[in-house]
Amino acid sequence: MKTDVLSLQNKKAGDIELDDAIFGLEPRADILHRCVVYQLAKRQQGTHKTKERNEVSGTTKKFGRQKGGGGARHGNRKAPLFRGGGKAHGPRPRSHAIDLPKKVRRLALKHALSAKRADGSLVVIDEAKLPEAKTKSLIEALAKLNIANALIVDTSVDENFGLATRNLPNIDMLPVIGANVYDILRRDTLVLTKAAVEGLEARLK
């Protein structure tokens, strides 16, 4: 399928042929959901930790009589029942990562690109470069393209363009190698350069 290529001034700069096997699929929510869960689980730090009974500071001396006290037969104050005692079955450092086959991840990326294409949220520009690192210039260019919330993908991030996007809270920029399902879906618009389209097609074929 063909789509128009625009310049940053919102003028037509030609057209490009998009591969139907990558941009023309019928998006499947289940595959996209599996990949997003995989990504979010993998990036969890898993450093949560609470002290258990054998780790808290306290005496192990039996503080009451075995019988006749009218209560339970406690051995020491470090039991989870008491204030300052250890946590019973508390969280421990671990990896939250789950397995997802590489083929499914590649397929999910294709479906994410196809979803943006189907929604009309895919914009192809000729290049993502600025003569100087001015955020104001980028805001004006994006306003002409009617873009306020987007992920911009290029083969390599132009230094001036990258610096200009850093101050914009709803604009992200990634190289082709870093394009992923979660970042594509979390933004309203996906902006690809001509080189990025070629790079993604080469990566996913």
CATH 3.40.1370.10 residue window(s) in the chain? 2-45+97-204
C-alpha to C-alpha distance for 8 and 25, rounded to whole angstroms:
28
In the DSSP assignment, the letter for residue 8 is T
Between helix 102-119 and helix 29-42 the angle, nearest 10°, is 120
Provide the pLDDT for residue 58. Answer: 86
Q: Which residues contact 87 (CB under 8 A, 6 or more apart)?
A: 50, 51, 52, 80
C-alpha to C-alpha distance for 45 and 87, rounded to whole angstroms:
21
Q: What is the pLDDT along the chain (205 residues), one digit of tens a residue?
A: 888 999 998 899 889 999 999 999 999 999 999 999 999 999 999 999 999 999 999 888 888 889 988 888 888 889 999 999 999 999 999 999 999 999 999 999 999 999 999 999 999 999 999 989 999 999 999 999 999 999 999 998 889 999 999 989 999 999 999 999 999 999 999 999 999 999 999 999 8
| 45's tokens | 């730090």
Q: What angle do CA 102, 177, 160 make, to 5 degrees?
A: 160
Domain 2-45+97-204 adopts which CATH fold? Ribosomal Protein L4; Chain: A; (3.40.1370)
Taken in order 127, 153, 174, 142, the sign of the CA dihedral is positive
Question: At 81, is the secondary structure helix, strand, or coil?
Answer: coil
* Pairing, β 189-193 against β 122-125: parallel
Partners of residue 122 on adjacent β-strands? 190
What is the C-alpha R_g of the chain?
Answer: 27
| 91's tokens | 């969280």
Provide the pLDDT for residue 63. Answer: 84
In the DSSP assignment, the letter for residue 117 is H
